[in-house]
Amino acid sequence: MKAALLRDLNNLAVGEINEQPLGPDEVRVKTAFNGICGSDRHIVDGNLGASSVYPIIMGHEMSGTIVEMGEKVKIRGLRVGDKVTGSPAYYCGACDMCRGGYENFCEQFISNIPPGSMAETVVWKEQQIFKLPEGIDLETGCFAEPVASAMRGIERAELKPGTNLCIFGAGPMGLLQLQLAKKCGASKIMVIDIVDSKLELAKKLGADIVVNSAEDDLFDCAMEATNDLGFERIIEASGAPEAAEDAFNIIGRGGILVYFGVYPMDCYQSIHLPTMYFKEMTIKSAFFYPYVFPRALAMLPYLDIKPLISKVYDLDNAVEAFNADKDNTNCKILIKT
124-150 pLDDT, tens digit per residue, is 999 999 999 999 999 999 999 999 999
In which band, very low, low, confident or very high, does the pLDDT at 264 lie, cut at 50, 70 and 90? confident
- Taking alpha carbons only, the member of 124, 108, 135, 106 closest to residue 60 is 124
Residue 48 pLDDT class (50, 70, 90 cuts): confident
| Angle of helix 172-184 versus helix 196-204 axis, rounded to 10 | 20
Per-residue pLDDT at 280 exceeds 80:
yes
Q: Where in the chain is the domain with CATH 3.40.50.720?
A: 149-285
**Average pLDDT of the residues of the chain:** 95
Q: Which residues contact 77 (CB under 8 A, 6 or more apart)?
A: 131
Residues with Cβ < 8 Å from 270, sequence gap 6 or more? none
281-309: average pLDDT: 96
Residue 17's pLDDT band (cuts 50, 70, 90): very high
Tell me how crowded residue 207 is: count the other CB atoms within 10 A of its CB.
Answer: 26
Closest alpha carbon to 7 in 59, 73, 51, 61: 51
149-285: CATH topology is Rossmann fold (3.40.50)
Q: What is the pLDDT of residue 114?
A: 85
Q: How many CA atoms lie within 13 A of 186 on its CB side?
A: 29
Average pLDDT over residues 56-68: 97
User: Which of 179, 165, 306 lies closest to 230 in space, CA to CA?
Assistant: 165
Average pLDDT over residues 320-333: 96
Residue ranges, CATH 3.90.180.10, the chain: 2-143+305-336
Return the amino acid letter for 169.
G
Question: How many whole angstroms separate alpha carbon 304 and alpha carbon 314?
Answer: 23
CATH class of 2-143+305-336: alpha beta
Helical pair 318-325 and 38-45, crossing angle rounded to 10 deg:
100
Strands 188-193 and 164-168: parallel
